[in-house]
Chain A
Amino acid sequence: MAVINGERVSIVPQSIAAYLKSAGYNEKRVAVEKNLRIIPRGKWTDEMIGEDDSIEILNFVGGG
C-alpha cells in the first residue's frame, strides 16, 4: 500500500503526473513530496510512484 496524504491507498505504479490527473488534483496549484524528497514539477512525468511510497500533495490555503 502507498500512503498518500496520510491515507493508505492501493495504486498501480504510475508517474506522478498521471496520478495527479487521474485523482483529480489541480496540478497547477500543488507541490509534491515523495518519501520526504521534493519532486520538482518538471520531473512529474518521469518520476514514478508505487506501492511502497509515501506521498504528500500540498497546496496553499488561507493562513496568518
Chain B
Amino acid sequence: MEDKLILGGHEFTSRFILGSGKYNLKLIQAAVEQGGAEIITLALRRANTRESENILDFIPKGVTLLPNTSGARNADEAVRIARLSREMGCGDFVKVEIMHDAKYLLPDNYETVKATEVLAKEGFIVLPYMYPDLNVARDLQNAGAAAVMPLAAPIGSNQGLATKAFIQILIDEIDLPIIVDAGIGKPSQACEAMEMGAAAIMANTAIATAGDVPAMAAAFRKAIEAGRSAYLTGMGRVLARGGSASDPLTGFLR
C-alpha cells in the first residue's frame, strides 16, 4: 500500500516540506534533491530592479510552491498577500502565517482562523501555521483548512519539540494532516514528531544554518522516513517497571 500525504486533493510521497529562507539560492536545488522535498515554502516581498536572480529560477520543476503570508499582522493583510501570491501563477497553496510579535514570532491564532476561512472559500488550499491549541485547530478545520501546522518552538530557534504534548493532542483529535512547523532543529526531533503521528515536517533554519545544507537536508529526509515507518509499524511497548530479557531464560551454562 502506498503511503501518501494528501493536501487539498494533491498527493505527495515526501513528508518533508522545505523552507527556502536564509540560504544561498544556488543551494536550493541540491537541498530539494537531497531532501527529497516535493513542497517548498516562499515569501512575497517588494521586488527590486537590482537583483536579476529570482528564486523561481532555482526551484526544480515539479516541486509544489507553498507561499507564506509572512509580514501579515492581521487576517486582512494575510488575505491580501495570499491573493497576490496566487497572482504569480504558481498554484493555490498558501501557508497562513500571521504575527505581530517580533521577539518570539508567535502566531496570532484568532486572526489565523479568520484568514483561513476567507481564503478557503476563495479556493485556496490553506495550511495555517498556529500555536498548538485544540480548540483553535477545530476552528481551523471548520474554516476549511487543508492541514494544521502547529509550531514545535519559536521560529528559527532550533529548540525542538517544546510543545510536544500539545501537538500530540492535535494528532490524536484532529482529522486533518498535522504538519509540525517551526523550531525543529535536528533530524532526531523531526523523527520523534513523525513517530508521534505527525503527517509531515516543515523545516528551514535547521537546514539553512547547518554546516552543509544539502547534507542536512538528506539527514532530515532519512529521519522523517524512519519516523514515519516507525509510526506506521506501531511502536514497541514500554514497561512501566522492571525489564524483560531479550534472550532465552533457559539453557544457561552453569
Knowing A26-B52, A29-B54, A29-B56, say if A60 contacts B44 (CB, 8 Å): yes
Bound: A47/B107 CA distance, A: 37
- Which of B82-90, B111-119, B169-177, B244-252 sits within the interface? B82-90
Bound: A59/B84 CA distance, A: 9
Knowing A26-B52, A29-B54, say if A59 contacts B45 (CB, 8 Å): yes
Distance in Å: Cβ of A55 to nearest Cβ of chain B:
10
Bound: A31/B80 CA distance, A: 12
Knowing A26-B54, A60-B54, A60-B56, say if A38 contacts B43 (CB, 8 Å): no
Q: Which of A5, A24, A31, A63 has the most B CB atoms < 10 Å from its CB?
A: A63
Bound: A2/B55 CA distance, A: 28
Q: How many A-B residue pairs have CB under 8 A?
A: 95
Verify if A23 is at the interface (C-beta below 8 Å from B): yes
Chain B residues within an 8 Å CB radius of A64: 19-22, 41, 43, 68, 70, 155-156, 182, 202, 204-205
Interface size on B (CB < 8 Å)? 38
Chain B residues within an 8 Å CB radius of A62: 19-23, 25, 28, 42-43, 55
Chain A residues within an 8 Å CB radius of B155: 64
Verify if B46 is at the interface (C-beta below 8 Å from A): yes
Bound: A30/B55 CA distance, A: 12
Chain A residues within an 8 Å CB radius of B70: 63-64
Verify if B1 is at the interface (C-beta below 8 Å from A): no
Chain A residues within an 8 Å CB radius of B156: 64
Q: Do B68 and A63 have beta carbons less than 8 Å apart?
A: yes
Chain B residues within an 8 Å CB radius of A57: 46-47
Contacts A61-B43, A62-B23 supplied; 8 other A-B pairs, CB < 8 Å: A26-B47, A31-B84, A31-B88, A60-B45, A60-B54, A62-B21, A63-B42, A64-B21
Q: Can you list the 10 inter-chain pairs with the closest CB atoms, starting with the nearest?
A: A63-B43, A64-B19, A64-B204, A24-B49, A62-B20, A59-B47, A31-B87, A5-B46, A60-B42, A29-B54
Write the residues of chain B forming the contact surface with A, with a CB cutoff of 8 angstroms.
19-23, 25, 28, 41-49, 52, 54-56, 65, 67-68, 70, 80, 83-85, 87-90, 155-156, 182, 202, 204-205
**What are 20 A-B contacts with C-beta separation under 8 Å?**
A31-B44, A31-B87, A36-B80, A38-B83, A38-B84, A58-B47, A59-B44, A60-B43, A60-B44, A60-B65, A60-B85, A60-B90, A61-B21, A61-B44, A62-B21, A62-B25, A63-B20, A63-B70, A64-B155, A64-B182
